[in-house]
C-alpha cells in the first residue's frame, strides 16, 4: 500500500507558472444557453456533496464506516470518491488496494461484518455498497484527477471519445457498477497551470465533458470541480466553462485555497473568504466573486454548488492577530505543513475573529483561517440568496466525530 502524492481537489490559485495564461480570453467566452439535464435530482439548493478520499483509510484511519457513525450519511445527498487516476489518455484506478482489495475487519466495516478472503469485491467500493444499502437515496460519484493526477488530462483531451469510453468501462465495471452513479472530473486546470501546465486549448474541457455526457447518457451524473480564479484573464477565462456547462449536472467551483502559506511570508489571509474585504491580497479571490463571474457567463445558478473546506490553512512567525500580517512560513500541520483539519484546529486554535465571512485565529506565533459552524451558516444564507444548487466540501475526514460542520449545512 502507499499514500498518493496529495491527489486532492483543491485550488492552489497562488501557485503555478501560468497565472495569466488566459489573458484576453474573456471576450467570446460563450454562454450556457442550453441544458441537457442528467438524472432527476434533489430540489435545487438541497444537494450536499462530500469528498471521501481513498488514502484517508491509512494514516487518518477514516473509513466509510465513519460517514455513518458521524451522522454524515444522513446529511449527504452525494459522495465524491477521490480519486481515480488519468493516465495514457484513460481513466484508471487510483489505489487498487484501497479501492477494491483491502479487507476490512468487523470493527472497521459499515455493517459490522468482516470481509472474507473469497468475496468478489472488498476495499472502499464494497464499503460504499454497504453504506448505500443503509441509505438508498445516497448517490456516489467517482472523481478523477485532482491536484496530483491532472497531468493526464492533456493526453485524454486528444481523443475525448476514447477517454470517455475508458471512463465508462471503468466506472460501469460489472464488479462495482451498482456502487457508482456517475463521474466527476477534477481537471486542475484546463489550458492553464496547476502542478503541471496544460496547453490543450480553450475548447478541450468542453470537448471532454461533451464526450463524457454522450457516453454516460442522461441517466448517469456528470459533474466537474473547477477553478475559482475570478481574476480577469485568470483560470476561469482560460477554458470554455460556459460552453461545457450544458453537459454537466453541476459544477463544484473550488472556493477555498485562495490564500495559503505557499506565499511563505504572507500576508496572512483567509483561505476561503465568502466575500472581499479591505486589504484582501488579491481581488477576485473570494467566493462571491467566483460565483458572480460564473453566473455572468450564463451558467445557471442551479448548476453551481458552494464549496467549503473542512480544514484550515495557516502560517507561523506571525506577530499580528488580524489578517494582513507577515509570516516566516507554513504553520506545522499533522499531515502537511500549512494545513490542518477543522477537528484539530477547533481545540488547538479556537477562532477569535471573522473576516470576509470566514473565521481566523492567532495562537502563539501561528495564524490560521477556517470555517466554523457559525461561518458555514452565513455561507448557507448566501447560497440560498444566490439560488445555488447546493453545497460541497473537501473533505469528510476533516469534520468532528459527530459531524459538527456537515450539520451546519442546510
pLDDT per residue over 98-116, tens digit each? 999 999 999 999 999 999 9
pLDDT at 20: 28
pLDDT, average across residues 352-361: 98
CATH superfamily of 47-309+372-408: Glycosidases (3.20.20.80)
Instruction: Tell me the C-alpha distance between 104 and 115, whole Å.
Output: 6
pLDDT at 272 over 50: yes
pLDDT, average across residues 367-387: 98
Q: pLDDT by residue (tens digit) across 288-321?
A: 999 999 999 999 999 999 999 999 999 999 999 9
Domain ranges of the chain: 47-309+372-408
pLDDT at 44: 62
pLDDT at 140 over 80: yes
Query: Cβ neighbours of residue 110 under 8 Å, at least 6 residues apart?
Result: 64, 65, 68, 127, 130, 131, 134
pLDDT at 29 over 90: no
Q: pLDDT by residue (tens digit) across 179-212?
A: 999 999 999 999 999 999 999 999 999 999 999 9
Q: pLDDT by residue (tens digit) across 216-254?
A: 999 999 999 999 999 999 999 999 999 999 999 999 999
Neighbours of 374 (CB within 10 A): 11
pLDDT at 25: 27
Residue appearing with cell numbers 460541497: 392
pLDDT at 279 over 50: yes
Per-residue pLDDT band at 392 (split at 50, 70, 90): very high
pLDDT, average across residues 137-160: 98
Question: Could you list the active site residues?
Answer: 188
Instruction: Tell me the C-alpha distance between 137 and 132, whole Å.
Output: 8
Provide the grid cell at 209. Answer: 465533458
Question: Could you tell me how many helices (H) and strands (E) the chain has, helices first?
Answer: 12, 15
Query: Which runs of E-coded beta strand occur in 26-88?
Result: 47-53, 78-87
Provide the grid cell at 271. Answer: 483561505
Rounded to the nearest 5°, which phi and psi values hold at 143?
-95, 135
- Global confidence as pTM: 0.91
Q: pLDDT by residue (tens digit) across 151-181?
A: 999 999 999 999 999 999 999 999 999 999 9
pLDDT, average across residues 371-386: 98
Per-residue pLDDT band at 401 (split at 50, 70, 90): very high
Per-residue pLDDT band at 5 (split at 50, 70, 90): very low
**By C-alpha distance, which of 23, 71, 19 is closest to 50?**
71
DSSP state letter for 99: I
pLDDT at 370: 98
Amino acid at each position: 500500500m502507499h499514500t498518493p502524492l496529495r491527489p486532492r481537489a483543491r485550488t492552489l490559485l497562488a501557485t503555478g507558472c501560468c497565472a495569466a495564461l488566459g489573458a484576453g480570453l474573456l471576450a467570446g467566452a460563450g454562454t450556457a444557453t442550453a441544458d441537457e439535464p442528467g438524472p432527476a435530482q434533489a430540489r435545487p439548493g438541497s444537494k450536499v456533496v462530500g469528498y471521501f478520499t481513498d488514502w484517508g483509510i491509512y494514516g487518518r484511519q477514516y473509513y466509510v464506516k465513519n460517514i455513518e457513525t458521524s451522522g454524515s450519511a444522513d446529511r449527504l445527498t452525494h459522495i465524491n470518491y477521490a480519486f481515480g487516476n488519468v493516465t495514457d489518455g484513460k481513466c484508471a484506478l487510483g489505489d487498487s488496494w484501497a479501492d477494491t482489495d483491502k479487507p476490512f475487519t468487523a470493527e472497521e466495516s459499515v455493517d459490522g461484518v468482516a470481509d472474507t478472503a473469497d468475496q468478489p469485491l472488498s476495499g472502499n467500493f464494497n464499503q460504499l455498497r454497504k453504506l448505500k444499502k443503509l441509505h438508498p437515496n445516497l448517490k456516489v460519484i467517482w472523481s478523477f484527477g485532482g491536484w496530483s493526477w491532472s497531468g493526464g488530462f492533456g493526453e485524454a483531451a486528444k481523443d475525448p471519445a476514447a477517454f470517455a469510453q475508458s471512463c465508462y468501462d471503468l466506472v460501469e465495471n460489472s464488479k462495482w457498477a451498482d456502487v457508482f452513479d456517475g463521474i466527476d472530473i477534477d481537471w486542475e486546470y484546463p489550458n492553464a497551470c496547476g502542478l503541471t501546465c496544460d496547453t490543450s486549448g480553450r475548447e478541450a474541457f468542453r470537448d471532454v465533458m461533451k464526450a463524457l455526457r454522450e457516453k454516460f447518457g442522461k441517466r448517469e451524473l456528470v459533474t466537474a470541480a473547477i477553478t475559482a480564479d475570478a481574476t480577469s484573464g485568470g483560470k476561469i477565462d482560460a477554458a470554455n466553462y460556459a460552453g461545457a456547462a450544458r453537459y454537466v449536472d453541476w459544477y463544484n467551483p473550488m472556493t477555498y485555497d485562495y490564500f495559503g502559506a505557499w506565499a511563505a511570508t504572507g500576508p496572512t489571509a483567509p483561505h476561503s473568504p465568502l466575500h472581499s474585504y479591505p486589504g484582501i491580497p488579491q481581488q477576485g479571490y473570494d467566493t462571491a466573486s467566483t460565483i458572480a463571474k460564473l453566473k455572468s457567463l450564463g451558467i445557471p445558478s442551479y448548476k453551481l454548488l458552494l464549496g467549503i473546506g473542512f480544514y484550515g490553512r495557516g502560517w507561523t512567525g506571525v506577530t499580528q492577530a488580524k489578517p494582513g500580517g507577515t509570516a516566516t512560513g507554513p504553520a506545522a500541520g499533522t499531515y502537511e505543513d500549512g494545513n490542518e483539519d477543522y477537528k484539530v484546529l477547533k481545540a488547538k486554535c479556537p477562532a477569535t475573529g471573522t473576516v470576509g465571512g470566514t473565521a481566523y485565529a492567532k495562537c502563539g506565533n501561528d495564524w490560521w483561517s477556517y470555517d466554523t459552524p457559525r461561518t458555514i451558516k452565513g455561507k448557507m444564507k448566501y447560497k440560498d440568496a444566490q439560488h445555488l444548487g447546493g453545497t460541497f466540501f473537501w473533505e469528510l475526514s476533516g469534520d468532528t466525530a459527530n459531524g459538527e460542520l456537515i450539520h451546519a449545512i442546510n
